[in-house]
Amino acid sequence: MPGPAAAAVAISPVQQGFLRRLAQRQTAPQRLVRRAEAILALAANPCIDSVARQLGLTRISIRLWRDRWLQAADALGRAEQEQASEATLLDLIEQVLADAPRPGCPATFGPEQIVGIIAVACEPPSESGRPISHWTARELADEAKKRQLVKRISPRTVGRFLKRGTVAAAPKPLLAQQ
């Protein structure tokens, strides 16, 4: 006995064009390309099993992206009816195909705090009244607490900040090159 009919994925010609462009874009992340290809394949054939086999993905992945697309179909349709710009429509499609926020705790230290600690590391220790010639992670951690940059921080964390050398989003090195 056959199961229930698969939910059809209806995409407009405009959406289809954007999905094809996204799937063929050289600089697009592969996860977005695979998801765009999945939506295009589902529009042609609503059978999850065959699309999963065709693309080499799991049924769970195909179902997830089909359901995400179906949830966003109304918003995409409204944007098209309101004649949103191409950039806006493409951005909406990319948002639908983007990863959902993942759980996890927020960062313990903000960028200002990290930059403050690195700025202290760039100063001579004698300016802070320290009788040392070079900063150590322990001394920097103590100085950051003394200056109230942070409430508490371990020397190991300070060492990680210095070893990394840059904030994750910084396009250039934080320390000046001479």
Q: How far is CA 140 from CA 58, 83, 114, 176, in A?
A: 49, 56, 12, 19
Mean pLDDT by 10 residues, the chain (178 residues): 73 92 90 94 92 94 93 90 89 90 86 92 91 92 94 93 64 50
**DSSP SS3 for 171:** coil
- Structural contact between residues 57 and 47, judged by C-beta atoms closer than 8 angstroms: no
Both tokens of 72, joined, read 């966003």
Both tokens of 63, joined, read 């179902």
pTM, to two decimals: 0.59
> DSSP state, 105?
P
Phi and psi, residue 125, nearest 5°? -60, -25
